Chains A and B, each alone.
Chain A
Amino acid sequence: DSGVTQTPKHLITATGQRVTLRCSPRSGDLSVYWYQQSLDQGLQFLIQYYNGEERAKGNILERFSAQQFPDLHSELNLSSLELGDSALYFCASSLGTSGGAGTQYFGPGTRLLVL
């Protein structure tokens, strides 16, 4: 168990809908990362927050947004869902962003299925 929790584990929804994925980092970790894993794209970095502030953006669609709250948990919001958004969404956390403090520990993921 990495100490990173994600809810829900599974999510089934329809095209056009909006969903929110939640992540709680390991105790003491300040950085949260979101990744998308799909069969054709592999693991892709979406976005990173550090202590409440956006730190880096990757291949995140405009329909997707995220935030990190004062208690350091994070939410990833996916809207106007399309079939192609079906994937595993992972959250990871790290103590900091450099050196050994930057080792990322992953949650179990949320499997999203858009029908």
Chain B
Amino acid sequence: AQSVAQPEDQVNVAEGNPLTVKCTYSVSGNPYLFWYVQYPNRGLQFLLKYITGDNLVKGSYGFEAEFNKSQTSFHLKKPSALVSDSALYVCAVRDDYGGATNKLIFGTGTLLAVQP
């Protein structure tokens, strides 16, 4: 069965420093991977996705993610963190039964705290 793991409940980083939020996946076929961000009392906002192609995916707000097939990882990165990046980051994988559905399986989320 498809699954996603986010090994860190919380990541702390100083403003201006690079950040990484980790995600590993387990799928039976080709992975469709997504990152979403959730601010307090808000819905999930789409950041970026990997379907095929370049292993480095660029997304919104300066975020990017690196797909690594051998390590089954899809880590989210940003070169320079902002205080306003503080939020819950959730990784997801598409649960694909031959394209018949498109439901997402989510990780438990990682709370990113950026200190000024």
Contact = CB atoms under 8 A, between A and B. Distances in A.
Interface residues of B, number: 26
B101 A56 contact: yes
Contacts of B49: 100, 103
Nearest to A4: B43
Contacts of B108: 42
B67 interface: no
B43 A108 contact: yes
B34 interface: yes
B43 A97 contact: no
Contact of B43 (A33, A42, A90, A100): A90
B69 interface: no
Contacts of A44: 106
A94 B99 CA distance: 14
Interface string B84-116: 000000101011010111111111110000000
A25 interface: no
Contacts of B105: 45
Interface of B: 32, 34, 36, 42-46, 49, 51, 90, 92, 94-95, 97, 99-109
